[in-house]
Structure formats: C-alpha cells, structure tokens
Structure 1
Amino acid sequence: MTLGVSGVLSRVAELQDQLGLNPAPAAQAVAGSGGKFASALADATRSGSPGSGVTGPSGDDVVAAAKKYLGTPYVFGGTDPDKGLDCSALIQRAYQDLGVELPRNSWQQARAGRPVSSLAEAKPGDILAFNSPVDHVGIYLGDNRMIAAPKPGDHVKIQNVYEKPTAIRRVLENTSPAVLQDMSSLRPAGLRSTGGLNGVPYADLFVKAGERYDVSPKLLAAVAKVESGYNPKAVSKAGAQGLMQLMPGTARGLGVADAFDPAQAVNGAAKLLAQHLKEFKSVPLALAAYNAGGGAVHKYDGIPPFTETQAYVPKVQKALAALGG
C-alpha cells in the first residue's frame, strides 16, 4: 500500500510517540511544506536509538547558525538581519535556519524545550534567559560565554555570561563533541573545479588557492569582486594594490613579491583569510579583519564601527550569495 503525505506524517507522529521523541509544542517544526516535512521526518529518526547513525540538528549547529549574525546591529523589534535584530529574534532566527520553529518573544522562548538545572549543566546551543519577568535571551557557547544581541547601540556579539540566568532551556538534545564553525559550509569540498565559478575571471586561481589554504573559492572570488572588480591593476587611494587589494606591507608579510600578479595576490589573500577564519571562527569577522585588520576586530569585539568596514562586510556577503556561496 502506498501512503500519501498525510499518511506518512501520521506514521512519523506514531514513531515519535513510540520513541518518546515528541518535542515541546513551542519548539516543534510544523510539517506544512516539503522542507518542513523533511524536518519532521528528521525529528522522528533523530538518534532515538543507539547506533542508529541518524542525527538531526545539534546544539552546536545552533551556535554555528547564530555566529553567522555576528556584527548585526541591535534593533528593538527587528527581525530582518539586513536591518537589525533584537535578542529574541536572533535566537528565533538561528533555530529557524535549522528548520526548528520557536516563539518570537523572549519570555516564550524561556519556556521552550526542557529545563536545564544550572549553568554547569548547560551545553552549547542552550537558551539562556535573564531577569524576571524574562526580558533578555542568549545562546550558550560553553566556557561561560554566550552569543546575544545585547542592547540598542550595540550589535550581535560574543560575551561573558554576566549574571546567573533565571532559566536555561534545551531545545535540541543531540549535541556533537565540538562546536561547529560557521564557515564550515564554505569549505572547498565539492568546489574542486571551476564548475561553481563559471564565467568568473581567475576562477582557476581561486579554486587552486582555496584548496591550498582550505578557504572557499567562492569566498575568494567574492572578495576580489568587491575589492577590485577583478582588476589586477587596481590601486586604491590608500595604496592597496592588485586583484585582492593588498597593502604593500601586508603583501610582504604574506610572501607576496608582486601584488599585481594575480596568482600571487590570490594566494596571499587566501592565506590571510585562512588565518582570520581560524582566529575568529566567523566569516563576517574574518572579512572585517581583512578590511580593517584583526586588531580592530579584537578591539571592538566584533565588526569595527568604521563606515567602510560596516559597508564592506555585507557587500562581500552579497557577492558571495550571488555566486551561490
């Protein structure tokens, strides 16, 4: 007998009940479309039995999703990351990116999932709620650190857990051993040919350097697009040179003898981006460091408040998205 979609969903629900995997209503993805159906099916099979080999989103995935919004301005009531987010919108967005629906308000999120008794028992991805009534939430990273959208005039950033949470909630039980880095989806695997960069100038150089330094070729291409418009002879007012707009001192430090040589420039830029990605574990912060320097990112604990850098990061992200990155 062939089951229709409704029949399969009914069977999914039965499996959830039998395995005791039904999540709290507030955190359950509704299977009303193809994507949400896949999420519901994943919920039903999510590591319910030892050795099943089937896993769904983990708390570490939540951390990785949230880190993609580092540097986003705080805007009260904001839900659009292009314009700004508030604390609960950040949490809702991070989980939503993984196919998990959460309520909009912080006090509602403080009831999602199941309670965790103390910060000592908290795991990456858990929701930390503050004050009574709850008026602020963040996502726990581990080691007494969290990512949050703190207040007006600030931005999404990583900070210490500054006071004892009034509630800790675990929405996802499946937590892998190590926190995923939010640039994992930009690894060169699957991009070892110019197929993903058809028609892009110097595509072969981006692919070759990306493989050498473990950086996405599409990310390198996006940086070149914004930096020079793929012009290997470009020179900025500040003196940055070539395809990747390397300053002479920076180029020397990267072993680039001629920044106007496309192959040398791309290799140098890939090396520099790899260093920043490893240091900041965030694509937006790595891009900010490429533009303004790593010291400035550390100083401001996020994307520096420089007009050029604030505009630069979203420009590269937009160029990356246009390339399918």
Structure 2
Amino acid sequence: MDGLSQVQARIAEIQARFQPSAAQSTSSSSGDWASVAAQAGLTGTSTTGSSTLATASENAVVSEAQKYIGVPYLWGGTDPAKGLDCSGFTKLVYGNLGIDLPRTSSQQATSGTAVASLADAHPGDLVFFDYDSARPGVDHVGIYVGNGQMIAAPQPGESVKLQSVGNPAVIRRVLPETADPTADSGSSTLAGVPYANLFTSAGSKYGIDPSLLAAVASQESSFNSGAVSPTGAEGLMQFMPSTAQGLGVNPFDPASSVDGAARYLSSLTKQFGSTDLALAAYNAGPGAVSRYGGIPPYTETQNYVSAVTRKAEAYS
C-alpha cells in the first residue's frame, strides 16, 4: 500500500470510529476526536508520507484535501488531530504541497490570481463566500474539486466534507500556471473528479474503464467515502458488508473500495459478457441477472444502468 493509500485508510478508520459520536456536544465530540486521532497517529504535521513536500498540481490538491474528510470543525483549528476551521484546512492542504497561504479566509482571498467565474474554475482553486451579514467581506473558504463541488470545513458541529460549491463570491487560483501538467496524466479525462487517481490505477490494473468506476462512485455515494445507505451498503462504492467481506475489501477505505469495485466489475463483465449486465449485477446481484437472463425488470436497476452509463460517457 502506497503512502496516499495508507493515509486514506487511516482517515477512513478515524471516520468510522468518530461517526457514532456525531450527535454528541461539540466539547465531547472534540474529546472523542482527539482520542481516536491519537490512536490512529494523526497529527498536525504533513501527511504526505515523506519529509519531501508533494508536487503541487490540480490533482495533488484534490487528493490532499480528500485526506481530511471527516476531521471535525474546530474554530481556529489548524491541527487535524484536534480539528480544523475553513482556512486552517486550506492552509494545511496547500502547506503540505509546498504553498504557504495566509491564515485567515479574508487574507487568503487576496492570494494568487482572480478567476472570473465558476465556469472558469479549475480543481484546486480556492472558493470564498460571504455568509456573515454582520461583517463585510469574505468569511468562508473551500477547495473546488470540479463538477460543482468543493471540500470544506463547514461550521461547528460538522466535519470536513464534500459538498455543493453553491455560488462563491470570490474565486482565486493559487497554483502556479506552470504546475506539472503531466501529474496523474493517466486520469486527464477525470480532471477534477474526486479519487481520479484511484479510478485510473484500479481501472488499469483490472481492465475497467476509469470513467466507469468514477460513474459508479458518483451514482452510488456521490463520492462520499463515509456513506452508509438505508439498506446498509457502505463506503465510496457502496458494498454490502457480506460482499465486502467476500472480496476482502474495507468499504470505508477509498483505495480498498475502488480496487474491490474494479476487481468485482471485471469479474462480472467476464461472467456476463457485457458492461451493462455487469452494472446490473453490481446493483441487483449476479443471481438476479442470471435468473432473468439479462437486466432484471427492476425499475431501480434499469435506471441505475442507464444513469451510470450516461455519467461514464460524460467523464470519458
């Protein structure tokens, strides 16, 4: 397991431990977080897995930001072992990539260069908001990841999460225009898609189109690695516990989940002979596809196959 996967696995473990305490008060939640973060070895130091800072690129910023999903909000927080506020989160992410940002969101809003509109925004751009009517100017910041979404530390009682970007008041690009254009070149068609590097790696390993894996993740969990469905499906790729166990997958670890999904879809494609039937089996189970000799006559499954196919085409 590489350094990034190790960090993601630790974050997933922390998220799983922390989620049951989410309904507790802010003070007790902070205590619980400090405890599990300490157990997992999460500290305020760089988590790049090396004493050398990672190369700053659009995909690198998105990947770095994803590591902190699940860290609780803490006003003034700059240490992920304790909690992060919005600008503490952005400063930490960029600091781990060798770019020093000012401490507050209002100061960060003067960094880099202006981006005219969301239509012109790139993954890794900083998006700023004016939510406090009692105080003029910027008071919130997040990291744009593409597809109308950002990762941010929202407010007390919540955690760093992937969410809709809405309508930012200011957008700034702090990455140099000469940032490595070849970084994650294999996932260029997935630029800005969360976990693009994982989809590309697993797709290459098992012969599955990375765009299809991204589409499945989008349809299943909206790229939420901590998602749990009403029926009990878990993680980024929404494995039922029994399926995850059979595949040896940790559904809350994005790297493990994507790898397992690619391996499973590869097996289903070989078993049924087509991508559509593999997707139907992923949704309804291989038994249902075998029983009906094709896509089962379930509205949910038929809509699922169509939706994933459309999204995969859009990502290609």
TM-score w.r.t. length of structure 2: 0.44
TM-score w.r.t. length of structure 1: 0.43
